[in-house]
Amino acid sequence: MKDYKKLAKWSLLALMLIGIVISVLFYVGGMSGETHVVAGDELGIPRFTNLFLNWNYILLVLVCLITLCFVCKNYIDLWINNKKKAITTTAVVLGFVLLVIVCWFLGSAEKIEIVGYEGHDNQGAWAQLSDMMIYLCGFLLCGTLLTMLGGWIYTKMLNK
């Protein structure tokens, strides 16, 4: 067990140091010479923008993979130790997947007008994905607030 803790500690330290070096390069590394005009203003592009973005993508993928591994391990353990709870968990996950599908179909694939943007990523599936995320956040916020209200009412009724 101590070897795993050492591995995790050194891995975290290495990733953090790499991230610090890349961040410093991004913020103090100067400009690349390219500029973009956004809403009438000319903006410079930092020299290490691609390196910075790619490092963030790598970290995002690592976090997702590690989280997914732990979730799968815990889910398998749940099926082994408590089948009733595992079925309830499966029902909740399926409900969330259904909510995502409903939100996808609520989204619109029409072009989104963005000031200063002239690309093609603001229409079609990307626009529909943006709408889906907005609807999903709204539904999850409402669900959270309703759950909080229901819990408050339940505890008030229980204490009477």
114 or 156: which leads in pLDDT? 156
Mean pLDDT in residue range 88-104: 94
The helix/strand/coil state of 16 is: helix
Confidence label for 1 from pLDDT (cuts 50, 70 and 90)? low
Encoded amino acid at 157, one letter: M
CB 23 within 8 A of CB 52: yes
First to last CA, the chain: 49
Full DSSP string of 45-103: EETTHHHHHHHHHHHHHHHHHHHHHHHHHHHHHHHHH-HHHHHHHHHHHHHHHHHHHHH
Helix (H) or strand (E) holding 119: none
Residue 55, pLDDT score: 95
Mean pLDDT in residue range 34-58: 84
Is the pLDDT score of 117 beyond 90? no
Is the pLDDT score of 94 beyond 80? yes
Residue 29, pLDDT score: 82
For residue 93, give both structure tokens: 């996950």
- Indicate the pTM of the whole model: 0.60
Q: What are phi and psi of 108, to 5 degrees?
A: -110, 140
**Where are the chain's structural domains?**
1-80, 82-160
Residue 77 has a CB neighbour count (10 Å cut-off) of 11
Which one, of 14, 47, 15, lies nearest residue 28 by Cα?
47
Give residues with Cβ within 8 angstroms of 36, minimum separation 6. 42, 43, 45
